[in-house]
Amino acid sequence: MSDYTFTNYFTNFVLPRRPYLQQAWCIRVIEEPLRIEAQPDGRVRFWGRIDEYGGRVLRVVTLPDRTTVLNAFFDRGFQP
């Protein structure tokens, strides 16, 4: 977990609004993604299934370094 960091935005705005999220889930999605997609601004989207949360798919957005987590949320519209 020490190789990953979380932005102030994630810590101060995302986690309080989504207290069910776990940082360990974000890291797992980055390390074992179902899909990866680069955004035009350089940020990277990762999708991964969270079995502990009913098998829902979590989208994690990182900065271009792929180790700094910016945002995360369950993606209801995920299409494999």
- H helix and E strand count, the chain: 3, 5
12 pLDDT exceeds 60?
yes
Percent of the chain's residues with pLDDT above 90: 94
Break the chain into its structural domains and give their ranges: 5-74
**Closest listed residue to residue 72, CA positions, set 61, 56, 57:** 61
Q: Is 58 helix (H, G, I), strand (E, B) or coil?
A: strand
**What pLDDT score does 79 carry?**
83
For range 18-41, the mean pLDDT: 97
pLDDT tens digit sequence for 57-72: 999 999 999 999 999 9
Average pLDDT value for the chain: 95
Averaged pLDDT for residues 12-30: 97
